[in-house]
Structure 1
């Protein structure tokens, strides 16, 4: 069984984003970049499924600038078998990403595609659902537990009311949530081995996909400063202020 895991290079989650002076976007110059945390969880889950038997090969794919090769090497060091880099120097929107992934799925014929539920840069939470729609596959989103069988996958997913468990036939799409697992650190020997693992270079044109942006960003601004709180002397004063604000009745 083959598993395909898409990953994205994003601003490291420990770095505070800064908006460019002209308001055109987030400043990514000279800042630390890393694998999207949700995608890292997806890679870890694929590796765990391989360790439990049933999965024979893990293929990771990234769509973005040439530096995304670093992200793929990280996934290979964690335990993926080979990688595909689809290079595009312009921003690729979720629908275009899903279309490229659909073409890769046609070529690779994986039984399962595992990807992060969203990327922390744009927070769109669209690619997995769009890919499932394009392929006509079953999907389990926001997965907190994945159980793989020979012909089906059972996904426990987080919903507003608690947990929901779904089972659907393979091939299928799964998007990962934070509580699914804790990704491992790549060991030094595996980092060295990753340098020799296969990494294919492609372009969107190789898959016949037009990645021209359909959305124009008008302006990006930082969130407003949080207002200071107000101290009250006692509970009676607190209730009075809440009444005045219309919060308490």
Structure 2
């Protein structure tokens, strides 16, 4: 049996690029009310199209969204809709283990049923790609959002979820790490080392490492821009250099949560 590599915990170990792995992520059952435990939700969806992966800091240039509700923003609308019921949110959370098992399989399909995910996502408008491997970035981001940021549907009547936030193309993973530095969650050296480590990975290994990285950031209240993360993951096989450049620009140019140099 092959052991799955885990992402380095940025504040553990002496080598920022090869620190000790963080704890395994167990999404567990659908939790209770979110407001007390999730005070700083990540930016979500706005109606505008997907930003260009890896575009320069402060760029507002954005192409039309991909058809079939597969772009980062259209897909996150699907995910938010699927998570609007207790059953949908719970099944998408449990889907993280299914995705991680599939990432260990050479074909990208371990044989575990993705039916619980399809039940809710396709009902909300999801159109799956042609192969099981091609949809892994979609399912991973959906599961991570459900685990870390999806509002509790049981609280919707008394605490409606916030309106989707507009975000810029530079608010990518590099921006999230820069925000962690500015808030004192990570040292700049450890954040840069971890981001650099991720930037050198192939797509499959990057997908395997992301759950531990996202858990580390979200546990400290650091926002993740989910549509932009998905767009970057989808671009990785053909345009990883452009995505890396965007991460580097955002990390080194971000002065605060909302500004770039």
TM-score by length of 1: 0.22
More strand by percentage:
1
TM-score (ref. length: structure 2): 0.21
* Bigger share in helix: 2
Q: Which has the higher contact order (CA 8 A, sep 6+)?
A: 2
